[in-house]
Structure 1
Amino acid sequence: MAFEASRLPRVNLKLLHTFLLVGEHSSFRIAAEKSFRSASAVSAQIRQLETQLGVALFHRTTRNVRLTAEGHELLACAERALLELDGGLRTIREAADIKQGRVSFACSPTIAETRLAQVLAAFRQDYPGVEIRVRELTSEALFESIRQREADFGIGPQPETDEFDFDLILVDPLYALVPRSLITTRRTTIGFATLASMPLLLLNQATALRHTVEAALKDRGVKLDTRYEFAQAQTLISMARSGLGAAILPRVALPEGDDPLTFRLRIVNPSLSRNIGIVTSRGQSLSPAPLRLIELIRQLIGADSQ
């Protein structure tokens, strides 16, 4: 079948929508109910469409309504066209949401201190209109902020419960930052037993890293000499450089380059690490702006796990 090209521009979406309803349900009555119009109004629109196209679209009898061959072809074309239109409108709407959206998320302090700035700078350059709210929280507070929907998502340690979804982006090994006054070594590692004999500097009980260390201790029946506890990794680094004890830290928090005052030693026997990823409420759907930011987080922070 060939419709006259010069007449096609006169066909509007309203007529096509009515045609789709009649064609899909083979009923003028059902089409009228679904479009909140009278059956006579629906019938008039179908006649108008048939007049514009110059073909009959339906076989009408007192008992039923059936598509003609031309009607079947138009139905298939109209369905494909509306699917494409819907996809295009969705893409435009998502692009607008990203440009003018809002993102609220929580982040583990060690990640915020060392990795977050480059992510936010890159995101701001591409999407300057998006409002971003960041909360720097220890693991317990981070999980609670997601639970209460105060944050769209979190960048933090792997939860121990199944109420959250977790998307791994970084495996972060644990190191000891040991004052040179406490040890002489040419090694790049330190055994857990050796470390346990030293005065230690640890992050406080609210952190997942502290839980990881204590679980390793419990498994081996070892008791640590915990000299000081702090909330910030940078404080532990400062204390270790002053010779007050060996700081246990994730790799991302370690200072760059060699330090004449400390050794940076990978903890072994056992090797300890923490999993860092994107934490969301189980089954939660995120809007385009948070999803785009998460994609950037995977690219810039997740690259360290390679």
Structure 2
Amino acid sequence: MEDLENRIRQTAFRENNFIGGKLRIASVPVTTTALLSKVLRQYRETYPYVTVEIKEDNPLAVQKMVEEHAVDFAITYAPFGNLDAEILIRDEMVGILPLDSETGIIEISKAADHMILCRAGMETVTERLPAGHGIDFSRSLLVQTAQTVVRMVEEGNGVGLISKFTLSSISHNLRICPIQPPLDTQIGLLAYDLADLTPVAQEFARMIRELCAEMICGG
């Protein structure tokens, strides 16, 4: 009912040649920091009659919000389930080590006992590992945020496994190295039906697409 009332209100606004209503976005913390924050100010200045609500959580919880129509759309990491998804940025997992480490490639199966991952990273790894790689992560250190992964590695507590895009948004003094097996992932725009977004959601999605295109070109 709330979603229907919001759509009716937005239609009335649009008929009077301006956009208003409520925009509900689900996001994982890194996409909030690295993407949403870069367009939010411009969006609010352009559409002052829109109330923006951002809900942050891990990728699986974000996916559930979309499935339950609790948000208009999400910007999150794969997996996307059976929802309507548009890939915005192609990413990969990388290893991070202290600068004095001589390790060339991190083999996940051999490093699992002293590996540090955040919850979102663990979801990506378990979802993307090729079939047949039965790696035991029971002794790995699981933390809440990517920033904690970085700080733990800087203090010599193990090797980190983190997405390259996420790492680019965190200041650090670590060495980046490839992992084996390679694990790719994606950041995407996720909705129940991307073709049926509300007017306020369509405008924000357009701005996010343009930002991601600029980031890729500036690569």
Q: TM-score, normalised by structure 2?
A: 0.79
Matches within 5 A, 1:289-300: 289-300=200-211
Higher-RCO chain (CA-CA 8 Å, sequence separation at least 6): 2
Alpha-carbon distance in 2 for matches of 1:257, 1:135:
21
- Partner residue of 2:192? 281
Q: Which residue number in structure 2 is paired with residue 263 of structure 1?
A: 175
Taking only the aligned residue pairs, the percentage that are identical comes to: 21
Give the structure with the larger helix fraction.
Answer: 1
Q: Distance in 2 between matches of 1:241 and 1:122?
A: 36
**Letter in structure 1 aligned against 2:118:** L
- Higher strand fraction (1 or 2): 2
Match of 1:112 among 19, 29, 32: 32
Alignment of 1:108-147 (within 5 A): 108-147=28-67
- Equivalence for 2:96: 177
Higher-Rg member (1/2): 1
Indicate how the Cα distance of structure 1 residues 95 and 228 shifts in structure 2: closer, same or farther if over 3 A, else same.
farther
CA distances 1:114-169 after superposition (whole Å, capped 9, x unpaired): 3221121221232222110000111121112112211000111234532x100111
Write out aligned runs for 1:47-196 (5 A).
Answer: 93=15, 95-96=17-18, 98=19, 100-162=20-82, 164-180=83-99, 183-184=101-102, 190-193=105-108, 196=111
The residue identity in structure 1 corresponding to 2:124 is T
Deviations 1:251-299 (A, max 9, x none): 2221569854x212233x4321211111111476112111000001111
Partners of 1:194 and 1:158 lie apart in 2 by 22
Aligned match for 2:136, one of 223, 226, 230: 223
Structure 2 unaligned blocks of 5 or more: 1-10
TM-score (norm 1): 0.59
**How many angstroms apart in 2 are the aligned matches of 1:255 and 1:160?**
23
Alpha-carbon distance change, 115 to 296 in structure 1, aligned in 2, over 3 angstroms: same
Code of the aligned partner of 1:111: T
1:238 to 151, 159, 164: 151
**Equivalent-residue separation in structure 2 for 1:210 and 1:94 (angstroms):** 47
Q: Could you tell me which runs of 5 or more consecutive residues in structure 1 were left unpaired when the two chains were aligned.
A: 1-88
